[in-house]
Structure 1
Amino acid sequence: MMNTDYFVEMVEKDIENLLSMPLWEDVDFVKRFFKQKQGNDVSFYKRVILQSKEQREHWGKVAMFVYRFGRFIKYHCDSEFWMKVYTDMNQQILEGKLGVLLPIQAQIGFGTTITHPHGVVIHPKAKIGKKCKIRQFTTIGTSKSSAPFDAIPEIGDNVFIGSNANIFGNITIGSNSVIGGGAVVTKSFPENSKLVGNPAKNLNKINVKSKIFAHRGAKSFAPENTLSAFKKAVESGADGIELDVHLSQDGFIVVMHDENVDRTTNGKGEIKELSLAEIKKLDAGSWFDEKFKDEKVPTLEEVLETLHELKFTGELNVELKTDKNNYEGIEEKVSGLLRSVKWTFTYIYSSFSFSSLEKMHSVEPSAEYAYIMENDTEKMLQAEKTPFISGIHPNVSWFLKNAEIIEKSTKKFRVWRTEDDQTLFKLFKENPEGIFTNDPKKAIELKKRM
């Protein structure tokens, strides 16, 4: 049994030190800490901080927890020990000792109005009385599925819940309640209550068809674009897998995101200036975690064979990294390899480079092609009028801001840079063709709860 008491005690000590800081009595510091805008009519300090000591303690403690351990655990949570540390701290401190802003088994009485500049978090076991008003970025219940979190919040009659709410679980919602614009409601929403505003939707009535693509493999759990990451992606049950390809100096198709090996190996140099033998000598795993020491940079052929052996039956998105380097002949090489075997999976070609897609299409006209874009609507329009391009892969921020343009399009949209739960829920409402994520396991679990 692993003992994590030392780490839990260390966090508790940090919390005590934080709360004893005289800066908490400084109005300007508190405003900056909570990123409060200037020029409010009512003093933020009096209205929020002094109004509730519990609020101040909650946010202070959570901030210190995230500061000390958040980023570290993010990159080490695949380790059994650190996962145990994280779980123990989460349960013993954040849940067991702090609760949440409105703690476990909270009773929110008749007619209560609750507001907070950063939103309101309500525990799954809370009971919300009749005619209550809860405003701004409310989260009710939990997206977790393991005990003891499977509680059933109860929301009374004639309750108003503000915009951008997330409501999880098998929740009982009373009659004539109103859920504000942008809300996500997953279960048991009664017909006589209302979802108001745009794009408020009841996901219980939506068939979420979006395919989950493992971005560079399951890169949250293994070093990106390695065989380990692709194996993890298959294990997660991802509908698709995305990878990136370059050409080495001697003409081999190398799977890596960057144009150089500096970030994800212990070597240096441009891929186009290194031979495959030189690239194969590099360690592509230790930067992520020591347990991946000596992980090698794979060739596309090695990845294809691995996925075939694992009987992966989803879609493989091969991104041609030709927007910065013009790899002469890469289109012919990639197409020849993909067409050489009847694989267990289907595949898509994508690129930021329109000319590269044109070349690839001339080589393999029967394949599926997608144009990748950041926030460039002109690119989208170019793809729209190009018959052989069937897909568009935009940045999530552009996708969520351009619903009217997307609705008129005939193309398949697959969206990237989508990690946090709130963004995933927004995308599930819109049902794009695909969602690229570093953590396919989490996305799949959230999708199942819809």
Structure 2
Amino acid sequence: MKLYVVIVLLFLGNLIAQAQPSIIAHRGFSFVAPENTVASAQLAWQQNADAVELDIYLSKDNRVVVIHDNNTKRTTGQDYKVAETSADVLRTLDAGLWKGEQFKGEKIPFLEEIIATVPDGKKMVVEIKCGVEVLPALQQVVDRSGKKEQLIFIAFGWEIIAATKQMFPENACYWLSGSAADVQGKLEDAAKIGLDGINLNYKIVDEKTVEQAKALGLEVLSWTVDDPEEARRLVKIGVTGITTNRPDLMKNSL
């Protein structure tokens, strides 16, 4: 009888473990810290996030920098186009003060600075916001990081995510989309080019889409979810990763 109970408990434990989604901190713990900064990443790890998501562009002098927009106005107050500006100029900008005095002096990070924060057993989700021109510099950063196996790549652009998968065949790569119509037209193509899954706006994720994706061997992730009830709905239908501004809330709720 005792052996039976132990077997049942182990079985239930495995089911529970399988049902737990990965909690991906959107641009770090961006609810409280300036997005896409070292401070934001470190705070996300403190909340026990499973992964940190960040965004990258290529600077004029071929440095991979971490920033969401193609210009610096929103997060630094000074207006420079990232692709037309050298890294030494970008690094003079304050990317933290807009979020609070306590973050004054936070810089626009180089990708390698954020990768260096990733603890053992955790992942970093790198969203490529520009085009294929970033890939040679990205490969150099990844190869030097010593944490290649902890990196995941995502992108909205079909060309860039396909090329990224070719460059990093051993790393998980996911196509991003917020359009239900586009998803239906691209699922089979995603499987054919060897992508690992799709990463969708939570509003377009339904049970049918998840079933179709999984039938093709594609994992389904979702963004950006700050409502625990919505997160529970997504997990119930088979979503395996939740991107959120509130890793603290999600960790406590799921």
TM-score surpassing 0.5?
yes
Query: Is 1:423–2:230 an aligned residue pair?
Result: yes
> 1:341 Cα deviation (Å)?
3.7
Q: Tell which has more relative contact order, 1 or 2 (C-alpha 8 A, sep 6+).
A: 2
Query: Is 1:439–2:250 an aligned residue pair?
Result: no
Given residue 331 of structure 1, which amino acid in structure 2 is its aligned partner? L
TM-score (norm 2): 0.86
Q: Which one has a bigger Cα radius of gyration?
A: 1
The one of 1, 20, 30 aligned to 1:209: 20
> 1:367 Cα deviation (Å)?
2.2
Query: Is 1:390–2:199 an aligned residue pair?
Result: no
Contact 2:220–2:238 (8 Å) recurs in 1: no
Given residue 47 of structure 2, which amino acid in structure 1 is its aligned partner? S
The one of 360, 363, 377 aligned to 2:164: 360
Moved more, 355-364 or 378-387: 378-387
Distance 2:230 2:180 in 1: 20
> 1:356 Cα deviation (Å)?
0.8
Distance 1:350 1:206 in 2: 25
> 1:278 Cα deviation (Å)?
0.8
The one of 58, 70, 77 aligned to 1:259: 70
> 1:245 Cα deviation (Å)?
0.4
Unaligned segments of structure 2, at least 5 residues: 1-14
Given residue 396 of structure 1, which amino acid in structure 2 is its aligned partner? Y
Correspondence 1:198-347 to 2 at 5 A: 208-307=19-118, 311-322=119-130, 327=131, 329-343=133-147, 346-347=150-151
Distance 1:259 1:431 in 2: 34
Distance 2:74 2:84 in 1: 16
Moved more, 383-392 or 436-445: 383-392
Is the partner of 1:267 in helix, strand or coil?
Answer: coil
Contact 2:187–2:213 (8 Å) recurs in 1: no
Is the partner of 2:170 in helix, strand or coil?
Answer: coil
Deviations 1:187-236 (A, max 9, x none): xxxxxxxxxxxxxxxxx989632110001001012100000000011111
Distance 2:219 2:209 in 1: 13
Contact 2:210–2:237 (8 Å) recurs in 1: no
Deviations 1:397-424 (A, max 9, x none): 000xx31132132311110021123212
Which 4+ residue blocks in structure 1 deviate beyond 4 angstroms? 204-207
Deviations 1:289-345 (A, max 9, x none): 1111111110101111232xxx342121111002xxxx4531122123212343286
Given residue 161 of structure 2, which amino acid in structure 1 is its aligned partner? L
Distance 1:387 1:247 in 2: 25
Unaligned segments of structure 1, at least 5 residues: 1-203
Contact 1:286–1:292 (8 Å) recurs in 2: yes
Q: What is the identity percentage for the equivalent residue pairs of Structure 1 and Structure 2?
A: 27
Is the partner of 2:139 in helix, strand or coil?
Answer: helix
Structure 1 residues 297 and 275: alpha-carbon distance in aligned structure 2, compared to 1, 3 A threshold: same
TM-score (norm 1): 0.50
Structure 1 residues 381 and 346: alpha-carbon distance in aligned structure 2, compared to 1, 3 A threshold: farther
Number of corresponding residues: 235
Deviations 1:275-298 (A, max 9, x none): 111111111111111111111110
Given residue 64 of structure 2, which amino acid in structure 1 is its aligned partner? I
Structure 1 residues 431 and 220: alpha-carbon distance in aligned structure 2, compared to 1, 3 A threshold: same
Distance 1:205 1:357 in 2: 32
> 1:380 Cα deviation (Å)?
4.7
Correspondence 1:153-168 to 2 at 5 A: none
Is the partner of 2:117 in helix, strand or coil?
Answer: helix
Deviations 1:23-73 (A, max 9, x none): xxxxxxxxxxxxxxxxxxxxxxxxxxxxxxxxxxxxxxxxxxxxxxxxxxx
Deviations 1:112-171 (A, max 9, x none): xxxxxxxxxxxxxxxxxxxxxxxxxxxxxxxxxxxxxxxxxxxxxxxxxxxxxxxxxxxx
Distance 1:429 1:255 in 2: 33
Given residue 274 of structure 1, which amino acid in structure 2 is its aligned partner? T
Contact 1:217–1:232 (8 Å) recurs in 2: yes
Q: Give the aligned CA root-mean-square deviation in angstroms.
A: 2.0
